[in-house]
Amino acid sequence: MGNFFRKSNLIKKHKKLATFLAVMVALVTTYLLILPAITLDMERAREEPGVEVEQSSQLPPSLPALGDSDSNLGSATESSQEADTSQTESTENDLITPATTLTATNQDYTITADVNADAQLPKDTSLTVKEIKTDDEAYQSNYEKVKNSLTAKTIDSVLFYDITFESKGEKVEPKADVKVTIIPKEAMDAKDNFDVLHFPDDGSQENIS
Torsion of the alpha carbons at 116, 119, 122 and 126, rounded to the nearest 10: -80
Identify the pLDDT of residue 159. 83
DSSP-based three-state secondary structure for 22: helix
User: How confident is the model over 109-114, as a mean pLDDT?
Assistant: 91
Measured distance CA(40)–CA(35) in Å, rounded: 9
More confident residue, 48 or 135: 135
Do 205 and 149 contact (CB within 8 A), yes or no? yes
pLDDT tens-digit map of 20-30: 545 454 454 44
Identify the pLDDT of residue 116. 94
When pLDDT is cut at 50, 70 and 90, the band that residue 10 belongs to is very low
| DSSP, res 122 | B
* Per-residue pLDDT at 115 exceeds 60: yes
pLDDT tens-digit map of 131-186: 889 899 888 888 888 888 888 778 778 888 889 999 999 999 999 989 988 888 77
Task: Kindly report whether the global pTM for this prediction surpasses the value 0.95.
Answer: no
When pLDDT is cut at 50, 70 and 90, the band that residue 78 belongs to is low
Do 197 and 169 contact (CB within 8 A), yes or no? no
